A and B are shown apart, each in its own frame.
Chain A
Amino acid sequence: MTPDFDLMVIGAGPAGCQSGLAASRHGLSVLLVDEAADAGGQVDRAPASGLLMKLAEHGENGHELRRRVINSAITLRCGCRVWSVSDGFRVDVAGPSGHEAFSAPRLSAASGAYERVVPFPGWTLPGVIGLAAATTLIKSQGMLPGRRIVLAGCGPLLLLVASKVLAVGGEIAAIADLASPADWLITLPRALRRPPLAIRGVGWAVGIGRSRVPIYFRHGVRTATGRDRIESVEIGPLDRSGAPAAGNTISIEVDALAVGHGLVPGAEIPQLLGAEMIFDRLHGGWIPQVDKFGRTSRPGLYAVGDGAGIRGAEPALLAGELAGLAAARDAGRISAATYDYETKKPLRRRRFYAPFADAMAGMMALRPEQAAGIPAETVVCRCEDVTRESIENAAAAGALDVNQMKHFTRCGMGPCQGRMCGDVAAELFAQSRKVQRDTVGYWTARPPLRPVTLSDLVGSFEYDDIPIPRPPPL
């Protein structure tokens, strides 16, 4: 069977778009698939159609990226949910035109990241959402998560969400930041390597300062309470490691809480295809082992962007460019000399950005003490209502890795497929077994990559269309 494309790219964020563009520029036929309605990913998420929104400064980057993809020879399929990736490579999608399959000898996984929330009592109440979820709501729908909001957690997303909420006229009751002012200051020299970002960051900070929003450094959420939805947030001091510390707590009346503790790489595709994985706490957790061009241990499989380690949007663009070039090189479309020449600049720029990217990743990485501070009766897996205590009981009952723990508890068996709880649950499980985090492993990746409605999978069919195999012997 002739492959449909030279390269398939899953995920049309900065990394995916750029890997497609670089490969396409060198004559590879490229399929770019994304489940969202438009290219851009989370960083450059497009406003939902019909919404007239003033493009923010960063939105323009997304607009430009989309324009470049549309003007290229790339076949772009949006609104398509990839549910299976198999050997060969074959990609199965469920989308507006039913179930379709595509093939190519090369595959670039650019499926981004998802949010980590370190659980606290009340985190499953309506009105509590993730920081990244809040940016999606604002960027895509022009909607605020509430009228009076507390923002909490760690990392640059806190600043980003604060500036966006203020820009659309929302009220921030308080910001609780795990970091101290000193933690932010030590990133400054590194930030100065990226003047546009540094200026933007300082701009956010100045804007937040001018708004007189109370900022509580080295603070985190203790509990969220409310009857049917969140009504109040209690925040309290943390120590350097992110664990709750002694001191006064503060109760704040709110109707929304946006809270996030960094990002976890969405590395299911390399996992599913059996690529070598490594545990890299700084860059978010389990990531595929890649060479500097994004080649995984599986020939023809590339991994780029936050799904291959949390580094942010600009390094993602560079990683995409490099993997696109590597695909062109591996397909024999460019000479070694062209490859060396064209990869030189992106490699150099990525090295230059690395210290800042790592500083930001460091502010978002999960600290073991954060997990250690979760109360025993707190739900960790929200799909299946599995508490911290149940996870510890599984360790006591003899479970050796996270997949056995899953069988013992149902932790991670719900419709989020273990994305929301996986990182923290594994951390808690490793701590209760008193072993290194990487020895307890990671969830075995299985299709569907995202939950898919059976109607989208089966399409319209007649009974006679079902290729029922021959019955086994009687």
Chain B
Amino acid sequence: MTRTHDLVVVGAGVHGSTVALLAARGGLKVALIERDQICRGASGVNAGTLTMQMTRVALIPYAMRAHAMWASARQWLGHDVGVVVCDGLSLAFTEQEEELLTHRAGKRREAGAPIEIVSGQHAVEIEPGLSRQVRTAGWCKVDGYANAYQTGLAFRRALVEAGVVLYEQTAALGIEIVHRGYHVITSKDPIQGRRLVIAGGVWIEPMLAWLGVHLPIKVLVNQLSVTERIAPVMRTQVGVASGLLSLKQYPHGTVVIGGGWQGKGDRVSGHGEIVPDSVVGNVRLACHAIPNLISARLTRSWTGFEAETADALPAVGAIPGFTDAYVCGSVHSGYTSGPYIAKLLADRLLGREPELPLFPIERLLATEDSR
């Protein structure tokens, strides 16, 4: 039998890792369990976009604060995640898209995102690599991107330094309620903690089911692609009115093409597969936005799982009916907002009043009737 930790966190993506890190820094003895490795699921394979223009309106206040956290990762995390803060543009190519863009930008601006609507010509001045077919653009200076694949190394170092006990390549298989705490059954030794945080991304649904709690989580299989290193073709983070594109060129020259075009896959096998027609569509949209991309070579396409609740808002808060047990996840564009939302939960765990409200899950629980 191992010792009892103050807190056991299941799932080491951005959410679980941040909660574990901040709780450990706040004085708790923390164990972090991950079936794979730190930030190697969605948190390590997403497009790294840090934008307000794809964020849910209700999440804007969180995303704004999270953006500031990413921008200062070197200070609070202590390690580099390759964050670049730059202008962001969201493009409209048709009249319909102009309407959509203006409407959505207005709502996001009301929620606190400093988005300005500019003409196509102005957008080209901001981003000379842009297509001349842009009619209107949303321009936001709180934008940018991180190097998602570096997230794991940065968090791993910080977690080790903070004294978090890491159980990597250790799959959680079940949870038992024991006297004054929880007992996580794993593929290796069981791990015990007084408090529990479930941060398993799309696997939150089966994990909560271990406790008899039924929170439906839809699995989005987002596709991404990356080019070889090429000479500079763009300097901003570019999206489109509908939100179905994210595009940026990293300092080392590769261009990452994302936006949530759907591949195939399921959480049971954990396996995702690209849909070739979706790659072609996504790449066409990218080349339409930044025409000089066309001569680059595609070197890799892949998929990542994004979790979505019934109302597409996060599941972050106490698990009803269980003492000292919490859930943290299902944050749309969760990479952008993740660190801040996880920080709010860490504050709750440490007995501090969170600066902004959490997202209690009672609203999402399937009742006996609906099951």
Contact = CB atoms under 8 A, between A and B. Distances in A.
A5 interface: no
Interface stretch (A44-52, A112-120, A443-451): A443-451
B332 A472 contact: yes
A404 B12 CA distance: 14
B107 interface: yes
A414 B273 CA distance: 21
Interface stretch (A86-94, A148-156, A306-314): A86-94
A414 B228 contact: yes
A466 B296 contact: no
A461 B284 contact: yes
Given A84-B274, A84-B276, A458-B287, A404 B152 contact: yes
B276 A397 contact: no
A76 to B, nearest CB: 22
Nearest to B94: A463
Interface stretch (B153-161, B318-326, B341-349): B153-161
A457 B274 CA distance: 15
A71 interface: no
B294 A92 contact: no
Contacts of A198: none
Contacts of B294: 454-455, 458
A397 B312 contact: no
A468 interface: yes
A463 B312 contact: no
Give the contact-size bracket for chain B. 35 or more
A407 interface: yes
A336 interface: no
Nearest to A85: B276
B56 interface: yes
Given A446-B301, A472-B243, A474-B107, A397 B228 contact: no
Nearest to B333: A472
A404 to B, nearest CB: 5
B280 A471 contact: no
Contacts of B240: 468
Nearest to B312: A473
A403, A414, A448 pick with most chain B CB within 10 angstroms = A448
Contact of B295 (A414, A448, A454): A454
Contacts of A84: 274, 276, 279
A407 B44 contact: yes
Contacts of B298: 83, 448, 451-454, 457
B280 A455 contact: no
A469 interface: yes
B195 interface: no
Given A397-B156, A415-B299, A466-B285, A404 B40 contact: yes
B260 interface: yes
Contact of B150 (A87, A407, A471): A407
Contacts of A398: 156, 160, 168
Contact of A473 (B56, B227, B296): B56
Contact of B274 (A86, A451, A469): A86
A467 interface: yes
Contacts of A458: 280, 283-284, 287, 294
B56, B133, B281, B284 pick with most chain A CB within 10 angstroms = B284
Given A404-B152, A468-B242, A474-B104, A448 B299 contact: yes
B153 A408 contact: yes
A400 interface: yes
A417 interface: yes
Interface of B is mostly: mixed
B312 A472 contact: yes
A469 B261 contact: yes
A293 B101 CA distance: 58
Nearest to B269: A274
B293 interface: yes
Contacts of A471: 100, 241-244
Interface in B81-98: 93-94
Contacts of A466: 281, 284-285, 288
A407 B152 contact: yes
Interface in A110-161: none
A99 interface: yes
A295 B298 CA distance: 31
Contacts of A399: 37
A407 B281 contact: no
B297 A452 contact: yes
Nearest to B103: A474
A446 B280 contact: no
A274 B299 contact: no
Contacts of B152: 404, 407-408
B95 to A, nearest CB: 13
B187 interface: no
A413 to B, nearest CB: 8
Contacts of A457: 279-280, 283, 298
B93 A463 contact: yes
A101 interface: yes
B51 interface: no
A397 B157 contact: yes
Given A417-B300, A471-B243, A472-B243, A454 B228 contact: no
Nearest to B100: A471
Interface of A: 83-84, 86-87, 90, 92, 99, 101, 274, 397-401, 403-404, 406-408, 410, 413-415, 417, 446-448, 451-455, 457-458, 461, 463, 465-474
8 contacts: A84-B274, A86-B275, A92-B276, A406-B149, A457-B280, A458-B280, A468-B240, A474-B56
Given A90-B276, A448-B301, 7 more contacts: A99-B280, A446-B274, A451-B298, A453-B298, A467-B277, A471-B241, A471-B243
Closest 7 CB pairs between A and B? Answer: A471-B242, A451-B297, A415-B228, A407-B149, A92-B276, A84-B276, A458-B284
